[in-house]
Amino acid sequence: MRGARPPFDSWEAAHFARTLLAGLDLRVHHDTRAVTFYNAPNADLLRHHHENLPEKLARQHVNPHVPWLYNFQLDFRFK
């Protein structure tokens, strides 16, 4: 993978799925898809950029609704 950093650069698809995707929980709250990552690597860095994403986008005058996601908003949690 170009630009990837360890440990991700040596992962195969099965390892990626087990390590990252197995810890996902997806829920719908009104017009928002809430994605919770459990045990995500670098969670503090991800949390800083992605938690409360709809509010962050709205403050920047960016529409937080994602057209290809049936106009839902997308928000993230890291636990």
SS3 5: coil
All structural domains of the chain with their residue ranges: 25-78
Provide the Cα torsion 69, 21, 23, 47; round to 10°: -60
**Predicted confidence band of residue 21 (pLDDT cuts 50, 70, 90):** confident
Tell me the two tokens of residue 53. Answer: 């994403």
Mean pLDDT of the chain: 85
Looking at the DSSP bridge assignments, the partners of residue 34 are 27, 75
> How many CB atoms sit inside 10 A of residue 23's CB?
14
DSSP 8-class letter at 29: E
pLDDT at position 6: 62
What confidence tier does 35 reach under pLDDT thresholds 50, 70, 90?
A: very high
H or E element at residue 33:
strand 32-37
Is there a contact between 37 and 46 (Cβ–Cβ < 8 Å)?
A: yes
